[in-house]
Structures are given as structure tokens and as C-alpha cells.
Amino acid sequence: MDFPELILASASPRRRALLSELGLRFSVTSPEVDESARPGEVPEALCERLARLKAEACPCSSGPTLVLAADTVVVVEERVLGKPRDDEENREMLALLEGRFHLVLTGVALKLGSRFLSSVEKTKVYFRPLSEALRASYVATGEGRDKAGGYAIQGKGSILVERLEGDYFNVVGLPLCRVGLMLEELGFSPASFWGC
């Protein structure tokens, strides 16, 4: 099967970079969706529902189009951490995460015509204990301002992470292995999406 036009339904520069690393050609759109959690909605259901909403909200061209959407949340003790509103909240998030593990959940949705696949990737991330000085210094870099959980594992925030269990790329923002498996489930071989 020929690989169709691919649209990434996300404004995330990290997701764009990861897809580019895979050698996929794609265009980008950023659909507006209400990202509020529903009453009683568990984090796994939230991120999968939001990924599906983003894929559904994506305007498609008239030809065959494949839409990829994702939504990532950070969870510690059942509390969902979004992007920090300001530096003070960023410091509070880091203090909450230090010396323990948290979960990074990414809902991934693929839409091809009437076919729809979605799933959730889960990675366990362990932070080392952090001094106040390290927290303040990291927050001052500004790197965590637009990141769920207030840090970037692929940047300066790597110094905060002691270890992880699961997919590293999931923590960056897009679980590439999961995306590849879902593309194969839709009938696309790696040769088709690499143009081999």
C-alpha cells in the first residue's frame, strides 16, 4: 500500500523533530480542542480521548490522508501535571517530582479515512533528589515552561532524571515504536513510509 499524505495534528516542535528523525514527510496543523478533563476521568482515558479529538478535528485534504495526533500528560499520585503557568508553579512541580517516580502517558491516535486506531503508551520516570538551588537554576533556564510536568528529558532536564522504565521517546512527546506498530496495523510496512 502506498503511503498517503501524513498530517501531524500537533503544534509540538518535539513531535515534529521526532517524526523527521523517522524520515517521514508530513505537514502540520494544530486543531483547537477543549483539553479539560471530564469529571472522574482517569489520566489514561484523558490523554487517549484528547488524541482522538485532535485527530478528528484535523481538516483533511480530498485525497487519502493519514492523521497522527498525540497528547501527553505527567501523573504523580493520581495528580495530572500540565504545563506550568509560571516559574513558581514550575518550582512546585519539580519539588513534587523529586526523589520519586512519576508516569508519562501519551495517547496516540491514527486516522485513515473511516479507520481509527488509538492507544496509550506509559513510561515510568524516576527523578533524583533535587536541591533548592538545582530546582531554581533549572527553572531559570526557562526550558520547562511549555512542558507537561515542567521539564524536558531531552534537554537540560536530563540531569534531573535518575532512570526510566519504558519508552524514552514517549517522555520526549511521541512513542515512536508505538507509532510504527500502529502504522503496520493499518497496513503500512516500514519500506512504504521510508520510501524504499
Q: Which of 34, 71, 86, 167 is catalytic?
A: 71
Q: Is 71 a catalytic residue?
A: yes
Q: Convert 60-78 to b/e letters by CB count within 10 Å (16 or more is b).
A: beeeebbbbbbbbbbbbee
Q: Convert 149-176 to b/e letters by CB count within 10 Å (16 or more is b).
A: bbbbbbeebeebbeebeebebbbbbbbb
| CA nearest to 174, candidates 81, 80, 126, 109 | 109
**What does each C-alpha distance from 10 to 55, 94, 105, 125, 131 come to in angstroms?**
9, 25, 16, 24, 34
Which residues form the catalytic set? 71
